[in-house]
Amino acid sequence: LSIDMYVRSVALRALTVSEKNRFTILDIYWSNVKAYIGMMNIKVAIFTGV
């Protein structure tokens, strides 16, 4: 295993990990947004008596 290949594999691994983290953060953010929208819908339903 040459240094060049090692550096490349480490860089690739770091890239894939950051991609996964980015998607995880997006998933968490999206689930929070959906939960917030759900809460707002419940409040609107309560206030309007639907």
To the question of pTM greater than 0.75 for the whole model, the response is no
Residues 6+ apart with CB under 8 A from 28: none
Residue 1 pLDDT: 59
Residue 50 pLDDT: 61
Which residue in this structure is represented by tokens 């309007």?
48
CA angle at 4 for the pair 19 and 1, rounded to the nearest 5°: 100
Of the candidates 36, 10, 3, the residue with the CA atom closest to the CA atom of residue 44: 36
pLDDT digits (tens, 9 = 90+) for 1-50: 588 888 888 888 887 888 888 888 888 899 999 999 888 888 888 887 76
Distance (Å, whole) CA 3 – CA 41: 57
Sequence ranges of the domains in the chain: 1-50
Which residue in this structure is represented by tokens 């689930």?
31
